[in-house]
Structure 1
Amino acid sequence: MCGIYGSLLPYSSQEVAAKMKLTNFRGPDFYGYKAIDLPNGKKLSLAHNRLSILDLDQRSHQPFVYDDSISIVYNGEVYNYNEVKKVLSNLGYTFRTTSDTEVICAAYLEYGKDCVRKFNGMFAFVIHDAKKQILFGARDRLGQKPFYYSTVGEGFEFASQLSSIQLHNQHLSISKNAILDYLSWGVIPDTSSIFNEVNKLPAGHLFVYDITSRHFETESYWDIDISKSPSFAGSYGEAKDELEEILADAVKIRLVADVPVGVFLSGGVDSSLVAALATKTTSEKIRTFSVKFNEKGFDESQYAAEVANHLQTDHHIIECDPKEGIDLVENFTDFYDEPFSDSSAIPSMLLAKYTRQHVTVALSGDGGDESFLGYHRYNWLTYLSKIYAIPKFLRLFGAEILKLAPNYRLKIISETIKNKNIDEAYLRTMSNSNATWLETPRNTLEFEELKYLFHKNKNIYERASDFDLKTYLNWDINTKVDRATMAYSLEARAPLMDYRVVDFARSLPTDYKFIKGNQKRILKDILYKHAPKEIFDRPKAGFTMPFKEWFKKDLKDFVLSELSENELKAIPGIKVGEVTKMIDQHMTGSWNRYSLIWKLLVLKQWLKTNGKGLSIK
């Protein structure tokens, strides 16, 4: 887990070093730089901030050179590298390190761009092929590792984080569409960034940049098959056994490291299953970590402690101090270098900060909800399906009745069921399209990812699951976890995002995952083989901050100061009067508007820190 950078622009070594210093928290163990003279008289700069995980020796420092003609900068892990290495060794390749970096280089020489199909991992890398005079790179299947790039003018520049491209760049402008996307989704979707001139490489894609012709081309090497319904023909018992075998291996290969490894343990199904399988994999005592909140309804640390006690792990509980949380709020954009409004980033950062004091790698339960239908909104789809089964005029009449209710939740339902079909109604739950507080709402029907939701080859549960994996998991969860853990030089690994798990989950009949309100059915039944069912017999809780109360109490003065009517005028795209009313609603308790408040606080902070002198267009 590291930070990478490269450029064909004429930056000096000092300027490149300054760019990398902005994100040296991603890899504090070693800074590497290499300048490569090109046949066209230009120079390629490659730089790397290393967080040493495998082969801690300096021989594995980057930029790494293999076979004289191949140079690489690489962020992430290829978990099956030993398996790939064995095949390559049998083909005659030799290796001088025990790292996965060298294996990627050899695999590229043997398989070309198809090498990425051999890798099971999370990664973003760029290879300079001196013989072909190309840059070849790729991002992992699910987008766990970030990759920003710019092809403006005659240059090409890439980085793990946006700030490295931003520094010393005189040609950037803020994207108005990206701001509107952020105000709708709470994140800036792929392939955009907050700057018009910078893009993100989509998950599951590779690219080739021809240095001579300056031609840049991307290609998808992995995707979800939306053409057919789930195809697994075996029994539920057979599916459970096969999935457990895949999961056990996914956990096992993620425990391989030359540094201490632990597990994030929330006490929920996903993280508990990962912890349980980890304890079965190694004879060493697994270290587990959880966050404790004092606010009622947010603290699940007691359940995590019960699981840890049953599994006999070395458990650590990290108490979330409101003051420490507030400090992170005020410095949020130092690590999330484009607007990002998932408030669970704050407890994620606190968890990472204290976990790093004990281990360098932590396994997480991320990815289980998307593949195994675990979110509350999937259960809501059951009721929504019944609503959309009734005649349209009755549905719209019911919506008007609900609109008159004093309870704001019923008003939200009213707006949701006014959509023309269940697909658009689900989309509305994921974005605030048609928001009254936006001057010009972004059309959320323009996104390419809607193809995963707007088709009829699968039922609504499977389509929503696919859509969330390509959007919410990629755009939100992976961004949150990468930045939160990297802020403290901690590597997070997610066994449930192993592509074998994802593919297998999509082959299963829906009722193996979700039946009669029993969400993540198959994961639970595997978990209950390792931990008592009684511990998990409770409603699902999200990993969120108690901002609803903090914004009315501890942070009230901060909110009212930062988002006063005068301050709101600095935020483009919003109706100041409408937003002021909505903030008042939150302070009086008539409507929970914490997500809007947090979204605006983050955007305002980012614009204040990064927007000076830049045009918005």
Structure 2
Amino acid sequence: MWQARLAATFGEGLGAIKHRGPDDTGTRVIGGLPGGRILALGHQRLSVLDLSSAGRQPMLDSRGRVAVYNGEIFNWLEIRQQLQGDGYSFSTRSDTEVLLAAWDRWGTDCVRHFNGFWAFAIFDPSPRDGGPVLALCRDRFGIKPLYLCIDDQITGFGSEIRPLLTACDKPMRVDPDSLMQQMIYEMQPNSPQTLFENVEEVAPATWRICHLSERRWVTMEYWSPRATPLRPRSDSQALEEFSWLLEDAVSMRLRADVEVALTLSGGVDSSAIAAAIRSNRHEAVKAFTSRFRNSPQLDETRWAAAVCRRTGMDHILVDVEEIDLDREERLLSRHIETIYTSFSQLVNWQVIKAIREQSAIKVFLNGQGGDEVFLGYERYYVPHIRSRGLWRPSGWHELIQCARHSGRGFAELLGFLAYFSGKSLRQWRYRRSASALFQPWLLEAPSRIQVDSLPEDKRELTIQETCGPQLQRLLRFDDRISAAFGIEGRPVFLDHRIVEFGISLEGHHKIRNGWTKHIVRRYLDSKGLPEVAWRKAKLGFPAPSAVWANDLLKKRVEAIRNSEFMRSVIRAGADPLELTHRQVMALILLHSVSSELNWQPLAGQPQSPAPA
């Protein structure tokens, strides 16, 4: 029975994600299911394709199927044409209607046809293989979030955890092991585990299908990175294929019935996207770049300006230091729902906020994933040099080249080699820092967790970094930040064709002569931007971390000391004013999210005493 209490909490939970889709609200309640069950579906719409009411959700087809859907199928036009050839007709310009028709035509194989990102649910009252089903699915790389809350009485799913628990009338309880995994190692739990008890995450590239007659769940993986073999290419073949893939991925991601922008850091990845937009002869796009007037060592505007001059983009600078730091950081923590570890997320927050203030813009492209697919982080120098043999002439030659062509000096790279070559030193450093901050009982369970090693095989390294937990964390941050402002971010480099190309690409196309992301740099060079292509320093979205951390600590130190939750996790005698920068960051950001989400003290050992 659709109880009044559950109906109220469902509506409250749906309203709590209105920021994700401020343009429309839709609900559908389906009764008459086996066991007298009720299925309630709700959707907050961000109108990007077919802005009319015809595209509203939940969307019903002629056979009684219902879909709720977050994301975009970028090749929806091509799929619709294919389905029209098979006899299907369409009444909207919405990719949701294409999704329902594709499910009817191909069943669970429909996602193999999709180029995009998504988290969707389809209720099918009469599928081919029996009774009614509820089918949940998430895109290949987990760009769009999808969470489940399951117990004996209720099953709920949604895009964010706190609204999901509200809708299911469940409390938010932090799992201590998962919390310490994040705090010590800066790793989010692997799917299906999350930071919270009673909430699991649908894994990327996965179907979760509930057969409602039996309330039986089936899990199916539909894509695997290891299905893509290594394929040799010449330099010219590699560049030609990459150029076509990047420009076609950009072309698809420019499809929208609203204005599209670009976040342009001035780095290699976002600059390559800008060049690809120009190659598509697309109308002028606004490019947004963070500016640091007071911290010139962090400012990349000159590189971004050079890209905009070359591509004809309208360049908009965002002064991220002009910020109500306490207020904006609290809002960021509230929306992210977990602990982030770098104020670069706050810089990103400010840039996305500026985009949304341009009222017509609802979509932007970004370069997330480029570093993982084409090995752009400087830590990847370590397995690269080791693969050449550190004690052989070829290894020393590569070490010298890496020192010349990176923002690191020779001595610093030697330090990188020592630090990243094994797990034990990193493991010891992480735990030593945590033991000075957290209560001893909290450090016991995470002792079995191991940090990742960096494989020397570059195909394996690409797979690990692209499909592993580190990129998952960044994608979560990106999703929450863009959704907070009712705007959609589209990571171009996570077009599955580009990822499969990257997996199949030989290592010397990724790191060569000390240059990371060599194939992307060559593309930029071919587009007339050599000064950006072969720049050494890599910043991304930098932040004045020390200044911001000190400012926040001064403002919040008493609140941190008086917080019941913080006293349940922080070691007795730990003085916030005597901690390292890393520990201060952990303290500030943990207090921020715990206070914004009203986390209850962890039960384990006695709390640290309140200050006198």
For 1:221-300, list aligned pairs within 5 A: 221-225=222-226, 231-294=230-293, 295-300=295-300
Residue 603 of structure 1: how far off its partner (Å): 2.0
Cα distance, 1:232–1:521 mapped onto 2, change above 3 Å? same
- 1:317 aligned onto 2:314: no
* 1:515-537 Cα distance to aligned partner (Å, 9 max, x none): 13110001000111213212342
Name the CA distance, whole Å, in 2 between partners of 1:413 and 1:23. 47
Name the CA distance, whole Å, in 1 between partners of 2:489 and 2:150. 30
Asked whether the 8 Å contact 2:182–2:339 carries over to 1, the reply is yes
For 1:138-537, list aligned pairs within 5 A: 138-167=137-166, 169-170=169-170, 172-191=172-191, 192-225=193-226, 231-294=230-293, 295-358=295-358, 359-382=361-384, 417=418, 422=421, 424=423, 428=427, 435-437=434-436, 438=438, 439=440, 440=443, 442-443=445-446, 446=449, 459-536=456-533, 537=535
Name the CA distance, whole Å, in 1 between partners of 2:346 and 2:250. 26
Name the CA distance, whole Å, in 1 between partners of 2:87 and 2:368. 38
Give, as a single letter, the amino acid of the residue that structure 1 aligns with 2:18: N
Please report the TM-score for the alignment, with normalisation by the length of structure 1. Answer: 0.85
Asked whether the 8 Å contact 2:273–2:367 carries over to 1, the reply is yes
- The aligned counterpart of 2:32 is 38
For 1:52-91, list aligned pairs within 5 A: 52-91=47-86
- The aligned counterpart of 2:593 is 606
Range with bigger deviation, 286-295 or 422-431: 422-431
Name the CA distance, whole Å, in 2 between partners of 1:547 and 1:508. 36
Give, as a single letter, the amino acid of the residue that structure 2 aligns with 1:179: L
Asked whether the 8 Å contact 2:149–2:155 carries over to 1, the reply is yes
Cα distance, 1:559–1:47 mapped onto 2, change above 3 Å? same
Asked whether the 8 Å contact 2:173–2:600 carries over to 1, the reply is no
Cα distance, 1:534–1:193 mapped onto 2, change above 3 Å? same
**Candidates 558, 562, 574, aligned match of 1:561:** 558
For 1:76-155, list aligned pairs within 5 A: 76-131=71-126, 132-155=131-154
* 1:351-406 Cα distance to aligned partner (Å, 9 max, x none): 1111123311101011110011101211244566789879xxxxxxxxxxxxxxxx
Is there any run of 5+ residues in structure 2 with no aligned partner, and where?
393-410, 605-612
**Candidates 564, 571, 578, aligned match of 1:575:** 571
- 1:29 aligned onto 2:23: yes
Is there any run of 5+ residues in structure 1 with no aligned partner, and where?
1-6, 391-409, 587-592
Aligned partner of residue 50 in structure 2, secondary structure: coil
* 1:489-530 Cα distance to aligned partner (Å, 9 max, x none): 111111111010011011111111101311000100011121
Aligned partner of residue 360 in structure 1, secondary structure: strand
* 1:249-283 Cα distance to aligned partner (Å, 9 max, x none): 00000000000011111111100110111122134
Cα distance, 1:19–1:59 mapped onto 2, change above 3 Å? same
Residue 556 of structure 1: how far off its partner (Å): 4.2
Asked whether the 8 Å contact 2:565–2:599 carries over to 1, the reply is no
**Candidates 573, 578, 582, aligned match of 1:584:** 578
Name the CA distance, whole Å, in 1 between partners of 2:104 and 2:528. 46
Cα distance, 1:146–1:486 mapped onto 2, change above 3 Å? same
Aligned partner of residue 70 in structure 2, secondary structure: strand
Give, as a single letter, the amino acid of the residue that structure 1 aligns with 2:380: Y
Name the CA distance, whole Å, in 1 between partners of 2:499 and 2:428. 23
Asked whether the 8 Å contact 2:138–2:202 carries over to 1, the reply is yes
Give, as a single letter, the amino acid of the residue that structure 1 aligns with 2:91: R
- The aligned counterpart of 1:400 is none
Residue 435 of structure 1: how far off its partner (Å): 4.3
Asked whether the 8 Å contact 2:379–2:416 carries over to 1, the reply is no
* 1:435-472 Cα distance to aligned partner (Å, 9 max, x none): 4335315547658x96xx68xxx734443332222234
- Once the two structures are aligned, what percentage of the paired residues are identical? 26
Name the CA distance, whole Å, in 2 between partners of 1:59 and 1:573. 50
Cα distance, 1:157–1:433 mapped onto 2, change above 3 Å? farther
Cα distance, 1:201–1:368 mapped onto 2, change above 3 Å? same
Q: How many residues align?
A: 572
Give, as a single letter, the amino acid of the residue that structure 1 aligns with 2:226: D
Name the CA distance, whole Å, in 1 between partners of 2:486 and 2:565. 37
Residue 328 of structure 1: how far off its partner (Å): 1.2
Aligned partner of residue 217 in structure 2, secondary structure: strand
- The aligned counterpart of 2:402 is none
Residue 477 of structure 1: how far off its partner (Å): 1.3
Please report the TM-score for the alignment, with normalisation by the length of structure 2. Answer: 0.86
Give, as a single letter, the amino acid of the residue that structure 1 aligns with 2:154: G
Cα distance, 1:446–1:111 mapped onto 2, change above 3 Å? farther
Cα distance, 1:280–1:160 mapped onto 2, change above 3 Å? same
Aligned partner of residue 323 in structure 2, secondary structure: helix
Residue 61 of structure 1: how far off its partner (Å): 0.1
Name the CA distance, whole Å, in 2 between partners of 1:350 and 1:429. 35
